[in-house]
Chains A and B, each alone.
Chain A
Amino acid sequence: MGRGLAHLSDEALVALVARADEEALAELYDRFGRVAYGLALRIVRDPALAEDAVQEGFLAVWGSATRFVAERAKASTWILTLIHRRAVDLVRREQPRRAEPLDAVPHESGDDTEEEAWLRLRRGRVQEALKGLPDKQREALELAYYGGFTQSELADRLGEPLGTIKSRMFSGLASLREALAEEEFEEEQWEEPRSTS
């Protein structure tokens, strides 16, 4: 690396990427490549397709960093949103029928690095928050986010009216937002949840 970008915030790295700084892109990949790949793999369930999604996602980061506004979003959210979008696009294109269960395949992990421990901790918090949701809300969120189903596909699949699915996703995310707001991620404050009236 040489320049020691490790101490920079994610947001500062994105600002450097906006200036076509390749080392900054590499540092972002080193921070988020692993979770990006894990997410893509869970969605597309094919290693080669997952690599495509990660590659397209990071190239979208590279190509659109000038449009990222640190005041509006965290860089990590922005990056994972771009990865998710690519993975979902790919799975919709490649696998028109996704009827199989969506459980991720457990992976063997011999080493227990600091990164692994951090990922495990973070995963535990999300799972805990998900567990607190009513089953139907959790199901809708998981099928949409990890399954790549659109709301219309979900309504068909679950045999529910579209309006019910919309409400379920909204209530589910709102509850999750509240549950996660009680946690302190990276010592940062979450905004107060807002209600829609």
Chain B
Amino acid sequence: MGRAEIHELSAAYALDALEGNDLEAFEEHLARCAECRENVTTFQRVAAELAYDVDAPEPPAALRNRILDQAASERPKVVPLPRRRWAFPVAAAAAVAAGIAAVGLAFWAADLSQQLDDVQAEQHRANEALIALIDPSASHFALEGADGVLVVDAETAEGSLVISGLESAPSEKTYEAWVIEGDQAVPAGLFSGGGNQTVVPLTVPVPEGAIVAVTVEQAGGVDQPTQQPIITSEQAA
């Protein structure tokens, strides 16, 4: 299959119109092709809009109960996440790996082989940060320069930035987060932005009185900020 042709399959894939060898070949391609992943992302979003062009009668009330009952009986399939942010239990990793093989949604299982661990860790951290948003024991601090919030766990001082609608970092550049106390800036993680929501678990704690800032730096990151921050948080209290 030619290059142009396999790119076109991102549409058929988003419509679930691929089967058998075509599906396998495209999923393999997808794991390697960022452009197709981007197309699949937006095409799936368009396809999901098509779901609204239907008559939508109320489903039978019994269906809701059946689903919830069965979910309750299948609890063991779901791995409860630990409070500690960085740990990811071995059992969970195995369950996720098995699930990926079973479901075959290559897009969410992108970068199957060597990056599986990264993907799991990313998902795990992103989930934890979203949960922190609704955790009453977490403190929230406003951001200037972006639509979002700094979330800090009151007990552990672990922090995350949750930013909406942040553009992707320019090519050859990265976003770098900093925890700044007085005149000391400590690198707190690199990220690339893009997408609806960017969740950045900070790699160092956010002590009382510190602020968190984000600069745009050379890809790979730097030890000390070389640019003016584009995003700053209020002082963590």
Contacts and interface: CB of A to CB of B under 8 A. Distances in A.
A18 B42 contact: no
Given A55-B66, A166-B9, A188-B196, A130 B53 contact: yes
A72 B195 contact: yes
A156 to B, nearest CB: 13
Contacts of B44: 73, 77, 81
Taking chain A's interface residues, is the majority helix, strand, or loop, or is none over half, making it mixed? helix
Contact of A59 (B41, B74, B96): B74
Given A55-B66, A69-B123, A39 B51 contact: yes
Contacts of A51: 59-60, 63, 66
A84 B74 CA distance: 22
Contact of A81 (B17, B48, B165): B48
Given A58-B71, A69-B126, A119 B56 contact: yes
Contact of B8 (A54, A70, A149, A167): A167
Interface string B34-54: 010011011111111111111
A88 B16 contact: yes
B117 interface: no
Interface string B139-165: 000000000000000000000000001
Contacts of B58: 34, 37
Contacts of B95: 66
A65 B123 CA distance: 10
Interface of A: 8, 11-12, 15-20, 22, 25-26, 29-30, 33-39, 41-42, 47, 50-51, 54-55, 58-60, 62-74, 76-78, 80-85, 88, 92, 104-107, 109, 119, 122-123, 125-127, 129-130, 141, 144-146, 148-152, 154, 163, 166-167, 169-170, 172-174, 176-177, 180, 185, 188-191, 193-194, 196
Interface of B: 4-5, 7-12, 14-19, 22, 35, 38-39, 41-60, 63-64, 66-68, 70-72, 74-75, 77-81, 92, 95-96, 99-100, 103, 105, 107-109, 119, 122-124, 126-127, 130-131, 133-134, 165, 194-199
